[in-house]
Amino acid sequence: MRLPSLLVLVLALCACGERVDGVHVTLGLEHKATAEGVVAAGGARTITRADGQTLTLTRGYVTLGSVELRPCEEALGWRLLRALSPVGTAHAHSAGSPLKLGTPHVSGLERPDGNVLTLGTLRPPPGRYCRARLTFEPADGDAEGMPAADSGVAMEGRTLWLEGTRVPAGGGEPQPFRLVSSRIATVDVVLDGLTLSEDEPAAERTFVLAWDSWLATVDVESEEVAGAVLDTVARSVAMSSAAP
């Protein structure tokens, strides 16, 4: 291909993928139980497991560090443009980019099930988006929703903080436990038909954290269990059935 023709192609590609005024998607997060045999009352969450144990979460916090929209497929033109020009073609988006919400949010179980926490609004280019990448990571001092200073929960530098009690299968006195992790966990969630255009510029999507699965199989008294629970928290994310 001759250079003039190549430059024309590059200039044409630069006109693609630009943001359009009014195009936006608002993202939210809620907690829900997805199985039977669970109870949410007074801020506590109780699950009776298949092995007969009864676990009650009296306090729980998880830090969602970022949410990034992922296009269904990268256009050939953008791949070519990325190869030709080193300007404005970064491989990843920084916090606050059109495709990425980078403000960390601490989500606590004191919020009732079904109560949606608004994470923020993205203003991406028009297009089809098939996945969202959620990253759970330690909260910094500017994270939204930090527990009160006198709560006894120190979420700065923490990704997960769970407190509760366990009653053995045969009954007995409730045994307290605390699980704390500063690890990072990432999960890709399939978006159900998210298409943004000038004709359909606005959309809302809500992610669900299925809290009743977090402790469904783990031994809360074993070592290093908090990291495994954080991985389960990430795997529990799904799209709300109420999403349009």
Average pLDDT, the chain: 84
Residue 128, pLDDT > 70, answer yes
CA distance 126 to 69: 12
Residue 82, pLDDT > 50, answer no
CA angle 101, 107, 111 (to 5 degrees): 130
* % of the chain exceeding 70 in pLDDT: 80
With 0.75 as the threshold, say if the pTM is over it: yes
Residue 93, pLDDT > 80, answer no
**Range 78-98 average pLDDT:** 45
Please give the pLDDT value at position 74: 53
CA distance 193 to 15: 24
| 238 or 40, which is more confident | 238
Please give the pLDDT value at position 230: 97
> Residue 22 region, left (φ>0) first, then alpha (ψ -120 to 50), else beta?
left
Could you tell me the pLDDT band of residue 76, with boundaries at 50, 70 and 90? Answer: very low
Residue 95, pLDDT > 60, answer no
Please give the pLDDT value at position 21: 72
Q: What are phi and psi of 165, to 5 degrees?
A: -135, 155
- Using one digit for the tens of pLDDT, what is the confidence trace for 55-67? 999 999 999 999 9
- Using one digit for the tens of pLDDT, what is the confidence trace for 140-184? 999 999 999 999 999 999 999 999 999 999 889 999 999 999 999
CA distance 107 to 155: 11
